[in-house]
Homo-oligomer: A and B are copies of this chain.
């Protein structure tokens, strides 16, 4: 999502029907959280943190709160000592499963192509600046 918080395009950008969903479902941690919850079922806070691996409690709380608000996960608080809180996927969150499957399949099939494309692009960018300027483009900021 962008700096503006919610995505509410006023221009023709609204023609893209999936922009809102991106804001809701796809951030750095929402998919790993959803995935962990989907794969291992209801989990406690620390267990969830352990399952995901590197996420800090602060960020985990933030994402979890947002996802709870959006109705993707359900938080259950057990008033005990020590306190126990459990998170699980809601029905709404579960409805994303087929979507994630499609995504996983695409990844399985095409991630290699992306990596190959990157290599080709970077090689071309590093190799052609000497000859003729086939296309005037200073430098192609690479990330991967």
Contact = CB atoms under 8 A, between A and B. Distances in A.
Contact of A104 (B10, B18, B102): B18
Interface in A57-72: 62, 65-66, 68-72
- A interface, over-half SS: helix
A42 to B, nearest CB: 16
A31 B16 contact: yes
Q: How large, as a class, is the contact surface on chain A?
A: 35 or more
Given A9-B54, A54-B10, A107 B18 contact: yes
- Copies of this chain, complex-wide, total 2
Contacts of A72: 114
Given A16-B35, A31-B19, A77 B134 contact: yes
A95 B122 CA distance: 23
A70 B118 contact: yes
A46 interface: no
A32 B120 CA distance: 25
Question: Which 3 interchain pairs have the tightest Cβ spacing?
Answer: A11-B53, A71-B117, A2-B28
